[in-house]
Amino acid sequence: QVQLVESGGGSVQSGDSLRLSCVASGRTFTFTTEAMGWFRQVPGAEREFVSLISWDGSNQYYADPVKGRFTISRDDAMNTVYLQMNSLRPDDTAVYYCAVVAEMVQDGGTYQTRVSAWGQGTQVTVSS
């Protein structure tokens, strides 16, 4: 039902910034009624939650490691979700994935999600 196309990844140095973009499309997909999220994955590790924005943009959620540094936003007119990443650190190095998030609940200090669609991923590399 939906195709997610990501862009904006690259190689930067510690302290620098990047903005990731994800454009959604599909015949039956209604972007304005879906929560959207970003996840990241390091080779050999599980994919982890980074950030989520509610369907109406009124609520944003962030994993602890990125709080205060990353900002998620959406442009419904362009069917696009963004992740502004500031003060990047080497530990942020990962493949970043855009996703349609069907469900998200908070479990203590973590977030549990159910994802209905994934993007292809974009590489972010932060060097020191």
pLDDT at residue 75, as a whole number: 95
Give the model's pLDDT for residue 86: 98
pLDDT in the model for residue 33? 87
**Identity of the residue numbered 94:** A
Q: In 41-59, which positions are buried (b, 16+ CB within 10 angstroms) versus exposed (e)?
A: eeeeeebebbbbbebebee
Low-confidence ranges of the chain (pLDDT < 70): none
Q: In which residue are the tokens 């994800």 written?
A: 22
How high is the pLDDT of residue 30? 85
Tell me the C-alpha distance between 74 and 72, whole Å: 7
